Amino acid sequence: MSWYKKLFKKEEKETLNKGLEKSNQNFFEKISKAVVGKSTVDEDVLDDLEEVLIASDVGAATTIKIISRIEERVARDKFVSTEELDRILREEISGLLLENPHRGTGNIDESKKPYVIMVVGVNGVGKTTTIGKLAHQFKSEGKNVVLGAADTFRAAAVEQLVVWSERVGVPIVKQNMGSDPASVAFDTVQSAVASNADVVIIDTAGRLHNKVNLMNELSKIKRVMQKVIPDAPHEVLLVLDGSTGQNAFEQAKQFTAATEVNALAITKLDGTAKGGVVIGISDQFQIPVKYIGVGEKMADLQLFNGTEFVDSFFRRAK
């Protein structure tokens, strides 16, 4: 089942609504100012709408695409009222999200055992927390999980992952500070195979020191894991901090150039008005946004559902 069509539980939907509240309020305040005193969607309204979308961190390229589509509809329908603008915007943004050709199915591919996830991203984006929450989700589904602390350059990174492993109750493989990250990854997948684990989650160093070094390091980690599991990693999950807006775009560019990212997690959406970044990143990189972080609790890392996201983003206060 596509994660776009995954049925949301009531509490999940309430969490999503609350998590996108700042983005929602900020967006509609700006939209209201853009259409004040106007009865139809004309060139001035479209210019103002373009500014609103860019200010909401949808990104310039995606904004131009959305505005172009609305212009076509206005030209075709001749008369479009400002009251209809919400509906048209919602439809066009939903359309963009649903056009992403790389939609995943469910949480993991259970035909791969163990299913290996390599997590990448810069320091401070919520990478370790995301790993901990993922481990919790997998364990709550009855899966056996092994964590690998391959960010051996920061003592804090290993310590944080150890705390999460204890909190969730899953084993962790680690080595001394400064050890070869690829060696840790090798030991982790070997341990996972030996213990018949279902899921392996490997943390990697969050340094954008330069693209060549990053590429070499991540490539080496992949190569050594493939000595144990030939098609590992099955998922390269890039974690981005949604609250950084355009910086998240830049990080996505760097990491997608350095390694074959095939899934995204966008965190910290509950503390920001920059929720539009999800729309732009999904459209521009054509990599599925698989998870979004909309709160501090374990269950507040949600499998992304494009339809529900747009519904919450455009939810008018009752």
Identify the pLDDT of residue 11: 83
What confidence category does residue 1 fall into, taking pLDDT thresholds of 50, 70 and 90?
very low
Residue 16, Cα to own-chain centre: how many angstroms?
14
Encode burial over 12-44: b for 16+ CB neighbours within 10 A, e otherwise: bbebbbebbbbbbebbbebbeebbeeeeebeee
Question: What would the mean pLDDT of 249-261 be, rounded to a whole number?
Answer: 89
- Is pLDDT above 60 for 3? no
Identify the pLDDT of residue 104: 45
pTM tops 0.75, yes or no? yes
- Is pLDDT above 60 for 32? yes
3-state helix, strand, coil in the chain (%, to 5): 55, 15, 35
Taking the C-alpha atoms of residue 193 and residue 135, their distance in angstroms, rounded to an integer, is: 17
Backbone angles phi, psi at 141, to 5 degrees: -90, 0
CA distances from 109 to 14, 117, 193, 303 (A): 28, 11, 16, 14
Taking the C-alpha atoms of residue 67 and residue 209, their distance in angstroms, rounded to an integer, is: 37
DSSP assignment of 89-101 equals HHHHHHHHHHH-T
Identify the pLDDT of residue 114: 97
- Is pLDDT above 80 for 9? no
Which tens digits make up the pLDDT trace of 77-120? 877 787 888 888 989 988 888 776 544 445 788 889 999 999 99
Identify the pLDDT of residue 34: 79
Question: What would the mean pLDDT of 123-149 be, rounded to a whole number?
Answer: 94
Which tens digits make up the pLDDT trace of 45-71? 899 999 999 988 999 999 999 999 999
Identify the pLDDT of residue 133: 95
Q: What is the mean pLDDT of the chain?
A: 87
Taking the C-alpha atoms of residue 255 and residue 258, their distance in angstroms, rounded to an integer, is: 5
What single letter denotes the amino acid at residue 116? V
Q: Which residue has the higher pLDDT, 8 or 199?
A: 199
Which tens digits make up the pLDDT trace of 235-245? 999 999 999 98
Q: Which two tokens stand for residue 303?
A: 């499998």
Identify the pLDDT of residue 24: 86
H or E element at residue 156? helix 155-168
Instruction: Give the residue among 118, 156, 110, 151 at the shortest CA–CA distance from 134.
Output: 118
Q: Which residue has the higher pLDDT, 74 or 233?
A: 233
Range with the poorest average pLDDT among 8-17, 153-162, 163-172, 225-234: 8-17
Burial class from Cβ neighbours inside 10 Å (0-12, 13-18, 19+) for residue 274 reads buried
H or E element at residue 31? helix 21-35
Phi-psi map region of 142: left, alpha, beta (phi>0 left; psi -120 to 50 alpha): left
Range with the poorest average pLDDT among 6-15, 157-166, 199-208, 292-301: 6-15
Question: What would the mean pLDDT of 287-301 be, rounded to a whole number?
Answer: 89
Identify the pLDDT of residue 13: 87
How many helices (H) and strands (E) are present in the chain, helices listed first? 12, 8
Q: Which residue has the higher pLDDT, 274 or 239?
A: 239
Q: What is the DSSP letter of 40?
A: B
Q: Which residue has the higher pLDDT, 96 or 136?
A: 136
- Is pLDDT above 80 for 7? no
DSSP assignment of 208-266 equals -S-HHHHHHHHHHHHHHHHTTSTT--SEEEEEEEGGGTHHHHHHHHHHHHHS---EEEE
Identify the pLDDT of residue 131: 96
